[in-house]
Structure 1
Amino acid sequence: MADTHQDGEGLPGCYRHPDRPTGVRCTRCERPICPECMVSASVGFQCPECVRSGSGTGHRPTATRPRTLAGGTVAADPHLVTKVLIGVCLAAFVVQLSGGFGDRFTDRFEMLGLAPVPGFTTPQGVAEGQWYRLVTAMFLHGGFVHIAFNMLSLWWIGGPLEAALGRARYLALYFVSGLAGSALSYLLAAQNEPSLGASGAIFGLFGATAVLMRRLNYDLRPVIALLVINLIFTFNPAFNIAWQAHIGGLVGGLVVGYGMIHAPRERRALVQYGVCALVLLAVVGTVVVRTGQLT
């Protein structure tokens, strides 16, 4: 077993991951545990060993599967969904690089409100009924630097968040945040300026991470500093970034993340997925209203 250590502010390190300071302890053995290791119990959180062994009480371990902080099922690979999302983005980027077909592929699936597109006989965009663009644009990227930065951010932020929420809740957060970003881009951006990238969804993960860290009494300064740096890049005209998608994703992630992490235990799933449904309803309403304005 690895020894724990104290960080600069006196917080101990997780007993399984000493480099991760945490303010949460197992309610049975009182060892410090990070979000990846904590398992939701009837009171507080427990470490994986106490869940498996029944904490040496002599009773057989319960048949109930251990749960994550947000009530999801603890998976053997807590980062699987993040790996799949990265793989899909990389595969789509390879297709984008394939010459003329890649250009048409990008033109067909990038985020676009309403505009003529070379190679198509009619105007293209969400206003023409191509709502799928709200989703597909989340998996396309505009160059090597763009995809490298986004995939590194997704791995760094997404992995620990997936472990804390569970696969289903994490996936819901990712897509709802991405759709919120696409909807705000559709509402506010110029309709003849296409946008693409996973940044909206990733900003949603930033927002949910801030909510999670606040819930666990972690030091918020690192994630706030990283978010501020990203926002500086977002609003710098030199980078030509679709700030609407970033802000929409961030707001969506904050709302869904709060619902996921602070939902009361007795009706947790109802509240969590109800919040997701409300944000999706706002997305649909935004798209319908904007489409009516354009058409």
Structure 2
Amino acid sequence: MSNAPVPPDGPIGAEPETPVCARHSDRPTRLRCTRCDRPACPECLRDAAVGMQCVDCVNEGKRSVRGARTLVGAEDSGRRVLITPILIALNVLAYLVTVVQSGSVQDNDRSDLFQTLSLIPPFAAAGEYWRFVTSGFLHFGLLHLALNMAVLYIVGNHVEPELGRLRFVGVYFLSLLGGSAAAFYFGSVCQNLAGASGAVFGLMGALLVVWRRKKRDISTVVVVVVINLVSNFFTNASLLGHLGGSVIGGLLTLAMVKAPRETRNVYTTVAFTLAILLLLGMFALRTAQLDTLSEIAAETLRTCR
């Protein structure tokens, strides 16, 4: 045994105990996170603006930093869409069911499902209120479906990321109801209405507002809208339904983009509430009118007998 003096810090060449990774206790490391100063192995470190940070600090930083926002305050989803393909799938599924039931690709309106869910004003006024919504998922033939779904795909891929999924769903369904309400309130009793055109026109109205606000060229959208509206005079499409949907969709989006950032949610809630009340009022008033007409017709028949 040697009697040589030992340095106060231990034998020459000796090293202090090596720390271990804060997330992996079996991995010794001399690396540290520049943010929290905890030991971290190379697998747990990520490049940062200054030095390297552990994955825990990186994740905490992501949560504390607010992401980019769109014009209406929705989180920027990077142009990813989810609701648009779901809506297209629902419309296609409803069409396929009516084709199978009717045995016809073009005359699918003869199916039981079509007759139960399409918007026939007297039936809707008699209490079958679901027709105001379900009629927006039915189409007269393959061409009608293809045109609406093509426009929905194109416009939805622009509007959904701008509005966010929740607002997009709200604008879509209120535009659908806007089309139903306009056709039901102002249109003829003797009609059978179906199609997603009211909702699609509502999204086109929303796209016009958003692009106008962002100072983008809206001439293409205007041309598409005008062509579709003019085509109503040469087809069986409902001009009233198209106009009703576009007005509701455009006004709702205008309220959202014009709202002050601090009170945007309040403005949005008020706008959607007013739209719902307006549509419910139109449904109620027209239903009362049709009830009165039914009573007059029944009394006339009794008198004639």
Output the TM-score relative to the length of structure 1.
0.73
* Structure 2: distance between partners of 1:57 and 1:170: 40
* Counterpart among 86, 92, 112 of residue 104 in structure 1: 112
Number of the residue aligned with 1:142: 140
Native 8 Å contact 1:213 1:220 kept in 2: yes
Partner SS, residue 120 of structure 2: coil
**Cα distance, 1:198 vs structure 2:** 0.3
* Counterpart among 220, 225, 231 of residue 223 in structure 2: 225
- 1:252 matches 2:248: yes
Native 8 Å contact 1:200 1:248 kept in 2: yes
After TM superposition, the structure 1 = structure 2 runs for residues 214-293 of structure 1, keeping only pairs within 5 Å, are 214-236=212-234, 239-293=235-289
Number of the residue aligned with 1:78: 80
**Cα distance, 1:269 vs structure 2:** 1.4
Partner SS, residue 121 of structure 2: coil
Deviations 1:48-74 (A, max 9, x none): xxxxxxx96999443435433311234
* Counterpart among 68, 71, 82 of residue 69 in structure 1: 71
Number of the residue aligned with 1:4: none
Give the gaps of 5 or more residues in structure 1.
1-54, 115-124
**Cα distance, 1:209 vs structure 2:** 0.6
Number of the residue aligned with 1:201: 199
Native 8 Å contact 1:78 1:166 kept in 2: no
* Structure 1: distance between partners of 2:80 and 2:164: 7
Size of the alignment, in residue pairs?
Answer: 230
Aligned-residue identity in percent = 34
Give the gaps of 5 or more residues in structure 2.
1-47, 52-57, 292-305
Amino acid aligned to 1:111: L
Amino acid aligned to 1:99: Q
**Cα distance, 1:233 vs structure 2:** 0.5
1:211–1:99 CA distance, 2 compared to 1 (3 A): same
1:197–1:57 CA distance, 2 compared to 1 (3 A): farther
After TM superposition, the structure 1 = structure 2 runs for residues 124-203 of structure 1, keeping only pairs within 5 Å, are 125-203=123-201
**Cα distance, 1:270 vs structure 2:** 1.5
Q: Flag the structure with higher helix content.
A: 2
Number of the residue aligned with 2:92: 90
Deviations 1:65-117 (A, max 9, x none): 54333112344772110010001001111111112497110001001111xxx
**Cα distance, 1:254 vs structure 2:** 1.3
Output the TM-score relative to the length of structure 2.
0.71
Native 8 Å contact 1:78 1:163 kept in 2: yes
Q: Which has the larger radius of gyration?
A: 2
Amino acid aligned to 1:290: R
